[in-house]
Amino acid sequence: MKQLINTARLRRSAGLVLLAAFASCAGGERLSVTPSSLQGVWRGEALIGLTWADKDQPLPLVFEIDADGRVSGKVGDAALKNAYVASNRGDFGRALDLATDYVVRGELEGVVVANEPKASSFVIAPFNVVEKAGEERHIWGSVTTWDSPNGGKNEIVGARDMVLRRE
């Protein structure tokens, strides 16, 4: 009987440790003060990789990131609105190289690309700031549009290899 109690206690403790580890991986908080390294106008493109679009069709992107975390700009031909940049992982997630450092989340107004099978209403763009010797600092990540605010399985436009450079 005593061993059953100890086993149950051990499982409960392990579960709490695991829960704490996952919580420290999470980000998601809107940045109230945006690092100066992110502020400014970033322009570039990503490559669309869906069956209904031409293979590797470029998706033009412009993100203007303000000091308070608000983001304006364009995803394809659609305008960003109510968009913001948020932390996408915590210290533990960074140590394990899970997810990206930042994510842009927002709404879209207009058509992203011609022939969209469904209207894109929301965008999620996870990214890292890449700083390598001999290279200009840039944003690298991906872009996905959805018809619901929290994503889901029904992505509309998916684009990889997003590279944006500051103007």
**Tens-digit pLDDT profile for residues 141-156:** 999 999 887 777 788 9
State whether residue 90 is helix, strand or coil: coil
Domains present along the chain, CATH in parentheses: 27-166 (2.40.160)
Spacing of C-alpha 145 from chain mean position: 11
List, for residues 69-128, the tens digit of each pLDDT value.
999 999 999 999 999 999 988 666 667 767 899 999 999 999 999 888 888 999 999 999
Q: What is the DSSP letter of 59?
A: E
Q: What is the DSSP letter of 30?
A: B
Q: What is the DSSP letter of 19?
A: H
Burial of 36 per CB tally in 10 Å (0-12, 13-18, 19+): exposed
**Average pLDDT of the chain to the nearest whole number:** 83
Residue 35 tokens read as 């690092």
Give the percent of the chain with pLDDT over 70: 77
